[in-house]
Chain A
Amino acid sequence: MRRAGKIAGVMLLLAALSCATAGVAGAQQDNDHTLQAMHDEMARSKARLELQIPNSDQPVRPFYIEYRILDLEVREIVAEFGDLLSSTHRRNRFMNVSARVGSYKLDSSNFVSDDGFQGFIGPTGSVGIDRDYDSLRQDLWIATDQAFKEAVDTYSRKRGYLSSLARQSDIDDFSKAEPVRLIEPLEAPDWTNRNWEQEAREASEVMRAFSQIHESRVTYYLVYATEYLLTSEGTEIRQNRHFAGIDGGMNAVADDGVPVNHFYATYATRPANLPNVDAVRKGLNVACTELMALRSAPPAQDYTGPVLFEARAAASLLAQVLSPAINGARPPISWGVWVRAFCRPASRWWMTRV
């Protein structure tokens, strides 16, 4: 079963989470058939997935296939003013299949088109959480089919578009990577014996003392994940990740009607490592006190001059300013939407052979 979209976001979210890897490799006797199903469907696809293109002697085949599965188990507890708002516990598995056609020099990736192949199910979505063999192969089968057709269609459009350009990139589209094999023991979530719902209630109760606070939320996020990766180059990974966080948000309105807000946040690599409720209450109390001060503070005036960023603010500032500049991602080559949305009419002529 698929629920198209969202998977990329979930993958990115997880990539941002802190992780602890034991690095213990080796086959497991843990009733997890995920990698076996990925291997077998990958082998079938590599051997037999092909499309015959008219006026071409050779059928098109994928030169690279990648399977990713993210097994995500999340508890989320939300409280306000000492009461529980919600408490959920969910486990889902998300699949993302990508295929590339062409070659490492020029392939089907990194091209945006507004009228490309639209599969009826798609190469991403939810799959079964049982770690079983048969259902996953069924899901991977249709996702690989969709990813391959999408790649064939995109590759054709990309080549057509590039042929109209005066100069093409000298940089390869995809780099070869040495295969990596890392199979960690399957890790069962440890939610610890802490009563998270009660902790959320007690932590959020701090805000009752601040009558000027209009709205507040204290959210506990407890996350365990297992990430699987298999590529046609031979990389094979099963890796555990875990993450926990407490996020407290609060807002008020200043006497002049301006809304003001503040937050408290703390993170840990495991739920058990989160601070206890007393420490959270202390942190929230500080944030609430600062919010009350902010609420009473006079409005800031326009200013030009020296500024001192405290450590936490400086880290955030640098992350936002520097990150885009040192990110190695290449902007997509685009047809249609991208060109119309972001380029002036003359830009097309600048890029085109004349």
Chain B
Amino acid sequence: MRYPLIKTNRSGLTPIFVGLGMLVGLALPFAPRAQAYPPETQAKPSPLLAALKAELDRSMKTYGTQDPPAYYIGYTVTDTQKVDVQGSNGALLNSSEGRNRWLEVSVRTGSYALDNTHKVGERQMQSDTAVVAVPLDDDPEVLRRAAWLETDKQYRAAEEALIKIKTGKEVKVETAEGKAPDFSKEQPHVSIGPEVSIHVDRTPWEAKVRAYTKAFRESAAIINSIVTFSAQAQNVLQVTSEGEQLQYGLIRYRLELFIQGKAPDGMDIERYSNFDWVDPKDAPDDKAVYASEATLRKEMEGLVKAPLIDPTVGPALLTGRAAAVFFHEVFGHRAEGHRQKDVSEGQTFAKKVGEQILPSFLSIVDDTTMKKLGGEDLLGYYQFDDEGVPAQRVTLVDHGVLKDFEMSRSPLVGFSHSNGHGRRQLGATPVSRQGNLIVQSSKTMSDAQLREKFIQMIKEQGKPYGLLIDDIAGGFTFTGRGQPQAFQVQPLVVYKVFPDGKPDELVRGVDIVGTPLAALTKIVATGDKPEVFNGYCGAESGSVPVAAASPEILISELEVQKKETSTDRPPILPPPAHDTVKTGGQQ
């Protein structure tokens, strides 16, 4: 089963955590005082926070005086309550709920300037953060026991890594980027928010996923359908040796519709849509879901019959959701801070701060404090990032000029602090990641005006048609130096738009390709209504929820290439429900 995700390359890049200036050997005694951070609602602290803090203090007393000293220890407990209801082809596939609780231990030896996570040349010493299952029962004694064991393991690994790093540095040239410290010193926060939980009656959702997938069976073009409802309540406790004490929770609901079909030439066709919400009362009603199903079904039936399109270059109009994914892949990943200092990265924008990289009518922010945009929940919202830094609004591009990067606690020369974008999937080490990437335009047009300009551009370039990209599944981008600095975006629904007024023609079989610096400067106009794409982005630190929002964009020149395809024949027999021959029982 494949879901369309926004993806980036997993080129083995793990973060080089760099610290803030000349604080070599300094640890807890010099840590700044914790700052009270107002949670949304005052709440009672979990008894486990005190247990974690007690074990942390004990560990720092021991490992902070070893040689090399542990200068930073962090404990994070993530308690996840999850409900999943999944159906396929008219039946329930599974329905379950469960809860788990994981402890992550992070130990850094050395100093903020140089620690065990330092990347020497191509080598990264630190593996993923240790993660162990801990009891669901609030038992401080057993939790402390787990923290004790893991801290010891992590300290030993960090100690060994630091020795190798110090030796390795002697045989490598230090790059300009490598002069930045390994870890930034941030203001610790104390914030105790309410614990969250979900109470989901699965029975009505079981009936819904049965009905939603049964409706897909009515189309002979749909070979397989999957509908998934999921609900998740996640509570996080975090304490660090710097004085951080956090308790916060987040709830998410999601409904996903996914169908598969096959064209006569063997090409696999997939269509997907999803609904995301936070408040149970915002759940989509049947009318909205069936409307989405009808669109998917119509597109699938059109796509299996649609002609293939050849590679071409020409004007293209991307709808808001498609443009949002385009910016996520083409710009967003290259604005992630850690990529600017890693010598194995392409560093497309590393030296371009203050320079024009986009048309002057475009600005881009990454605002993880935003819960909603235009009434739609944004998946990239959070209170604190996974390094305990509060969420922030970051202006990345202001009127076309590059201003900032998405920063974790791995600082760059000239960008010494995190701006709350250190993110990771449970068990992975945080790196700088996107949250809510929002494209804003000061040169907007109505849909009709934009289309008119699009047609005019097709005519001016003497092209037989332009491409309207209506929906995009996701894509990937190469950011490492070992590969071309290219992106590939996978459109799901593409129309040929003709300059002579002929109706738009649905086509298939192409991916959008290009290079970032060239592609971004070819944007000539935008629409006036932003659209939101919610998805999960995969990169070095795992899969994290993100949102991207953009108005429609008109691009003067976009290249498409043939997409990878299968040559397996479509099924020999028709679907049982659509077989008119009375052979083999009920038809």
Contacts and interface: CB of A to CB of B under 8 A. Distances in A.
B133 interface: yes
A40 B586 contact: yes
Interface stretch (B83-91, B165-173, B312-320, B392-400): B83-91
Interface residues of B, number: 51
Contacts of B575: 138, 141
Given A92-B94, A126-B94, A135-B88, A83 B573 contact: no
Contacts of B90: 128, 132, 134-135, 138
Given A45-B584, A119-B568, A134-B576, A82 B96 contact: no
A64 to B, nearest CB: 17
A90 interface: yes
A124 to B, nearest CB: 13
Contacts of A44: 573, 576, 579, 583-585
Nearest to A137: B576
A78 B132 CA distance: 14
Nearest to B88: A1
Contacts of A139: 88-89
Contacts of A133: 586
Interface string A183-195: 0000000000000
B573 A45 contact: yes
Contacts of A126: 88, 93-94
A129 B209 CA distance: 13
A149 interface: yes
A40 B142 contact: no
Interface in B61-78: none
Q: In the complex, which of the residues A44, A45, A138 has the most CB atoms of chain B within 10 Å of its own CB atom?
A: A138
A50 B149 contact: no
Q: In the complex, which of the residues A1, A3, A91, A130 has the most CB atoms of chain B within 10 Å of its own CB atom?
A: A1
A49 interface: yes
B68 to A, nearest CB: 21
A181 B93 CA distance: 28
A343 to B, nearest CB: 31
A224 interface: no
Contacts of B141: 81
A189 to B, nearest CB: 15
Interface string A35-75: 01001111111111111000000000000000000000000
Nearest to B586: A40
Interface in A83-125: 83-92, 117-121
Given A43-B585, A128-B90, A128-B92, A83 B137 contact: yes
Contact of A121 (B94, B137, B224, B583): B224
Nearest to B226: A1
Contact of A138 (B86, B217, B585): B217
Given A86-B99, A141-B571, A41 B91 contact: no
A89 B268 contact: no
A80 interface: yes
Nearest to B566: A120
A203 to B, nearest CB: 14
B572 A129 contact: no
Contact of B224 (A1, A40, A47): A1
A142 B575 CA distance: 8
Contacts of A348: none
B136 interface: yes
Interface string B131-146: 0011111010110010
B88 A127 contact: yes
A214 interface: yes
Contact of A120 (B88, B214, B568): B568
A42 B87 CA distance: 24
A145 interface: yes
Nearest to A39: B585
A129 B96 contact: no
Nearest to B145: A81
B98 interface: yes
A136 interface: yes
Given A120-B268, A135-B88, A141-B576, A48 B142 contact: no
A3 B1 contact: yes
A129 B583 contact: no
Contacts of B543: none
A83 B92 contact: no
Interface string B527-563: 0000000000000000000000000000000000000
Interface string B210-231: 1001100100000111100000
B521 interface: no
A215 interface: yes
Given A48-B573, A149-B569, 10 more contacts: A41-B584, A48-B572, A51-B572, A85-B100, A86-B133, A88-B98, A126-B88, A135-B213, A135-B217, A141-B573
10 contacts: A2-B1, A48-B584, A81-B135, A85-B100, A127-B88, A128-B88, A135-B214, A138-B90, A145-B571, A145-B572
> Which 6 pairs of residues, A with B, have the shortest CB-CB distance?
A128-B91, A44-B584, A40-B585, A83-B135, A1-B88, A135-B91
